[in-house]
Amino acid sequence: MSAVHLIFDLDGTLVDSAPDIHAAVTRMLADEGVAALDLATVTSFVGHGLPKLVERVILRVGLDIGQHPRLTKVTLDHYNAASSDLTRVYPGVTQVLTGFQRAGHRMALCTNKPVGPARDILRALGLEGFFSLVIGGDSLPVTKPDPAPLQACIAGLGGGAALYVGDSEVDAATAVAARVPFALFTEGYRKTPVADLPHALAFSEFASLPAMVAALQAGTGAD
């Protein structure tokens, strides 16, 4: 039996990046002479990629939506300048990824964050070596919850059985659309009760994930 492929979301799943995203948004708003939004509000906008997040910020503070392309670039520039200053890996992630790698699982990253900043964060936080493939929000013409990014990850890993690990409504919808089992990390950025999100398994601590993956693989007979 071959090891099931493991595909991970990034923000709110492997890392808590909201503080750096909030800081970039705060700097963009300061450039425009607008007061900052609080961390919880900006965190609630995470999930559909940076352009959507900036759109939600613009609508919340009353800026001109016609400035969306410019303000998205400004926010991205601020973020790229300090994308990992405040971002932290969730407890247990590095140890669990190390174990998965040693067990023969091929792993990929499927995120709506642009691929450049995603790779920068992986590199800065010592996670880059775990992933043979990174699909970002600018890698394809579409983003999650369209199934194409997740399907591209599976194809890039050689096809076969896969599990998608994420934290949000977007991730759950992506897995459903791609017909891939979904593992829900319950401590990320979701806004919906766990019971209302479709998932094959749910976990609050990464240390519990390997046993769940092993049981799921045994049940599916992945080969």
Mean pLDDT, range 140-168, rounded to an integer: 97
Among the candidates 81, 97, 129, a domain finishes at 81
72/162 Cα distance (integer angstroms): 33
**In a shared domain, residues 60 and 117:** no
Cis ω before 198 (30° cut-off from 0)? no
pLDDT in tens, 22-61: 999 999 999 999 999 999 999 999 878 889 999 999 999 9
**In a shared domain, residues 26 and 62:** yes
Mean pLDDT of the chain: 94
**In a shared domain, residues 77 and 136:** no
12/43 Cα distance (integer angstroms): 9
pLDDT in tens, 128-143: 999 999 999 999 999 9
**In a shared domain, residues 50 and 93:** no
**In a shared domain, residues 122 and 161:** yes
The CATH number of whichever domain residue 36 belongs to comes to: 1.10.150
**In a shared domain, residues 74 and 106:** no
pLDDT score of 48: 81
6/110 Cα distance (integer angstroms): 10
Asked if residue 2 has pLDDT above 80, the reply is no
The CATH number of whichever domain residue 208 belongs to comes to: 3.40.50.1000
pLDDT score of 49: 83
**In a shared domain, residues 22 and 104:** no
**In a shared domain, residues 41 and 130:** no
Positions marked active-site: 9
Instruction: Give the pLDDT band of residue 223 (cuts 50, 70, 90).
Output: very low
| Contacts for 2 with CB less than 8 Å, ≥ 6 apart | 104, 160, 161, 222, 223
Residue 18: what residue type? A
Range of the domain at 97: 5-16+88-220
Instruction: Give the pLDDT band of residue 179 (cuts 50, 70, 90).
Output: very high
Domains: count for the chain = 2
pLDDT score of 220: 61
**In a shared domain, residues 22 and 11:** no
Mean pLDDT, range 91-98, rounded to an integer: 98
Angle between helices 50-61 and 68-81 (to 10 degrees): 120
pLDDT score of 1: 53
**In a shared domain, residues 137 and 178:** yes
pLDDT above 90 as % of the chain: 91
**In a shared domain, residues 167 and 200:** yes
